[in-house]
Amino acid sequence: MKVLITGAAGFLGSHLCDRFLAEGHQVVGMDNFITGHPDNIAHLFGRGDFSFVRHDVTNFIYVEGPLDGVLHFASPASPVDYLEQPIPTLKVGSLGTHKALGLAKAKGARFLLASTSEVYGDPLVHPQPESYWGHVNPVGPRGVYDEAKRFAEAMTMAYHRFHGVETRIVRIFNTYGPRMRPGDGRVVSNFIVQALRGEPLSVYGDGSQTRSFCYVDDLVEGIFRLFHSDRVDPTNIGNPIEFTVQQLADQVLEMIPGTGSVVQRHPLPEDDPKVRRPDITLAREVLGWEPRVPLREGLERTIPHFRTLVERHDLSARTL
């Protein structure tokens, strides 16, 4: 197959490029480097089965020749990014999704949308099944990301129903691993970087809010299976094992000892979800998928990435 992956230089997009190439497919990567970085795909340049186009997907997308798949991963995806870039976030979720779907329609290609657990907002149902419609504040600060993805899902289903485009929608829950940016504001990267630098770990609220952390290799496996499946409706991909933020902080401090880091508490941000855990019943039944990497093992694979950045003093670079 030949596939286009938008957001290819981002955390998830770059790992997805690796997976499709490893399976023998051709990949066209596309990114405008607003939040992605060339370093994430530098190892792919020069390969005959990989090409790259620097492009903003909110504009018309052109790819020469036949195309079998379009995987739309272009978007700011961390709180720091979408709070600092609210309008580009809304545009890539709306205009970018429209342009990517238009390309898929023109090429007769299968389309996969990278959606998010944020469509559930601060959920009133726990854990969150795909049938739950969510509890989102559309005018709150996080609404720019939540509603962009909800609109993108609606647009994707409209193209499927009206134009007959073959579509897939993955709702991604908290994911971590190598190639995360140190300054992206996500809790795993925050804690690891702060611990490595001997700084206090920033815990918001009392730390009792929960998250479910999925290692990136597990997530990519789930996405790959979903893309090749027949399932059209949204599908949760994430780890159903729930941890409090305080438990994560304790785990990181245990694994990075001797730096003098302690926990420092801050006020809880507006609309910050109190709980977040996927119901992956459908992923298990339809895809035969469930995560394999436990949190401790995933952190052991992730910490060296950030240690290298600390040693190179690259943490001040928001683009890494």
The pLDDT tens digits for 193-235 are 999 999 999 999 899 999 999 999 999 999 999 999 999 999 9
The whole-number pLDDT of residue 183 equals: 81
202 and 81 in a common domain: no
Is residue 223 in a domain?
A: yes
Region 99-121 average pLDDT: 97
The confidence score (pLDDT) of residue 184 equals: 86
Name the pLDDT band for 314 (thresholds 50, 70, 90). low
Encoded tokens for 212: 């479910």
Measure CA of the first residue to CA of the last residue in the chain; give whole Å: 30
Scan for tokens 């998830």, then name that residue: 12
| Residue 268: predicted pLDDT | 82
For 51-68, what is each residue's pLDDT tens digit?
Answer: 999 999 999 999 999 999
pLDDT > 70 in the chain, percent: 98
Both 162 and 73 in a single domain? yes
Domain match, 64 and 192 both: no
pLDDT at res. 275: 87
d(CA 274, CA 307): 30
Distance CA 103, CA 94 (A): 14
Strands 167-172 and 175-176: unpaired
Alpha-carbon distances of 38 from 17, 19, 319, rounded to whole Å: 13, 18, 10
Q: What is the mean pLDDT of residues 251-277?
A: 89
Q: Are residues 95 and 198 in the same domain?
A: no
pLDDT at 320: 36
Is 284 among the domain residues?
A: no
What residues make up the domain containing 303? 178-211+241-275+294-312
In whole angstroms, give the CA distance from residue 255 to residue 251.
Answer: 6
CATH code where residue 196 lies: 3.90.25.10
Establish if 317 belongs to a structural domain. Answer: no
- CATH number of the domain enclosing 23: 3.40.50.720
- Say how many domains are in the chain: 2
CA distance 287 to 272: 31
Higher pLDDT pick, 82 / 220: 220
Q: Do 143 and 130 have their domain in common?
A: yes
Are residues 154 and 27 part of one domain? yes
Q: Is the dihedral of CA 97, 216, 306, 213 positive or negative?
A: positive
Radius of gyration of the chain (CA): 19
Q: What is the mean pLDDT of residues 89-109?
A: 98
User: Are the CB atoms for 25 and 1 separated by under 8 Å?
Assistant: yes
What residues are annotated to the active site? 145
Residue of higher predicted confidence among 24 and 315:
24
Residue 280 lies in a domain: no
Within-domain flag for 318: no
| pLDDT number for residue 318 | 40
Residues 153 and 193 in one domain: no
Residue 233 lies in a domain: yes
Are 226 and 131 in the same domain? yes
Q: How many CB atoms neighbour CB 124 within 10 A? A: 11
Provide the token pair at 126. 């726990």
Examine the domain organization and report whether 169 and 189 are in the same domain.
Answer: no
Tens of pLDDT, residue by residue over 269-301, are 777 788 889 999 999 999 999 999 999 999 999
145 and 197 fall within a common domain? no
Token pair for residue 281?
């019943």
Three-state secondary structure readout of 60-93: CCCCCCCCCEEEECCCCCCHHHHHHCHHHHHHHH
Mean pLDDT to the nearest integer, 113-135: 96
- pTM score: 0.94
Averaged over 75-104, what is the pLDDT? Answer: 95
The mean per-residue pLDDT over the stretch 3-17 comes to 98
